[in-house]
Amino acid sequence: MRTASKKRAIEAKRRFALPEVTRGLKETHARLIEFLMALPVTAFQQEEISRRIRLDTYEHYKEHAETLIDWLNSEGN
């Protein structure tokens, strides 16, 4: 179920063109990589940190896949 804040974020970004969305994705990904590279190796051995990374990255992306596909199809991309 989408929360009110997620709905607002979706609506705010709905007007963005694909290049803007792509740029934001790349910037966010770069910040994530920078953050992860700064962690000590031992951090990745802690279950809670590994779980949080998983939930906030590739598991989270699955949540948006259908919405993104629908958006791409509606834009004729």
* Confidence check: pLDDT of 76 > 70: no
**Cβ neighbours for 16, distance < 8 A, ≥ 6 positions apart:** 24
Angle between helices 47-56 and 58-74 (to 10 degrees): 0
Task: Evaluate if residue 73 carries a pLDDT over 70.
Answer: yes
Decide: residue 74, CB within 10 A, 0-12 exposed, 13-18 middle, 19+ buried: exposed
Contact 67, 10 (CB under 8 A): yes
Question: Does residue 39 come out as left (phi exceeding 0), alpha (psi in the -120 to 50 range) or beta?
Answer: beta
- 30 against 71, higher pLDDT: 30
